[in-house]
Amino acid sequence: MNLTVFLNAFTSYFVIIDPIGAALLFYSLTLGRTFQQRLKLIGKSVIIAAIIILLFGWLGERLLTTLGISMDALRVAGGILLFNTAFRMITSAPLPDKPTERPVGDISVYPMAIPLMAGPGTLTLTVLLMADATGIGGQATVLLAAMLVLLITLTLALLATHIRKLIGKTGDEIIQRLLGVILAALAIQFVANGVIGLML
């Protein structure tokens, strides 16, 4: 396994999925539910997100090729999309401690799996990382990093009550904005690489 590829992919997925932020949102959406109910919801969410990422990882580039979309064009478009996500992370208002409206029914598909864990930003990132990876080993390393981040998200979601008490609302805001800045830098790099590729 290429450690550099793994660390780059792991960091990128960690920033875009934001396991801590996802866990805290999951906490706010599942107030009053039992541990078994929360385990079932987050487990289902992670499985759905994993399947989507794996399918998009292996088939995404082929689909784009079929549609006549170059990887450099996707880098530019994906970078803009990721930057928009980063901008919202930096400027959005913090979540309330208790939601004014509790969601009814199953939240595992929306909003947990899509768009929080396997949204447009994550899928775009997957295609870009898979395209830049070398060989089957490199691509498997990218997907392994994605699965590890999802596993971390599941773990933190189950520990969200303790995390919320530990870092508080201020800590949550600081982490969200720092991750947003990192994601913005990553997005700009994707755009720059795409523009250079289109010009060659």
Whole-number Å distance between alpha carbons of 149 and 133: 18
Q: CA dist 144 to 34, 76, 154, Å?
A: 31, 25, 15
Whole-number Å distance between alpha carbons of 175 and 173: 6
What is the predicted pLDDT for the residue at 132? 87
What is the predicted pLDDT for the residue at 105? 62
Residue bearing the bigger pLDDT, 121 or 126: 126
Q: In the predicted model, what is the mean pLDDT of residues 56-64?
A: 86
State whether residue 133 is helix, strand or coil.
Answer: coil
**Amino acid of residue 118:** A
> 145-185 pLDDT, tens per residue?
999 999 999 999 999 888 888 887 788 788 778 878 887 88
Whole-number Å distance between alpha carbons of 20 and 179: 10
Residue 103 has pLDDT above 50, yes or no: no
Q: What is the DSSP string of 84-108?
A: HHHHHHHHSPPPPSS-SSPPPS--I
> 34-59 pLDDT, tens per residue?
999 999 999 999 999 999 999 989 98
What's the pLDDT band for 19 if we cut at 50, 70, 90? very high
Q: What is the pTM of this model?
A: 0.78
Residue 192's CB: how many other CB atoms inside 10 A? 13
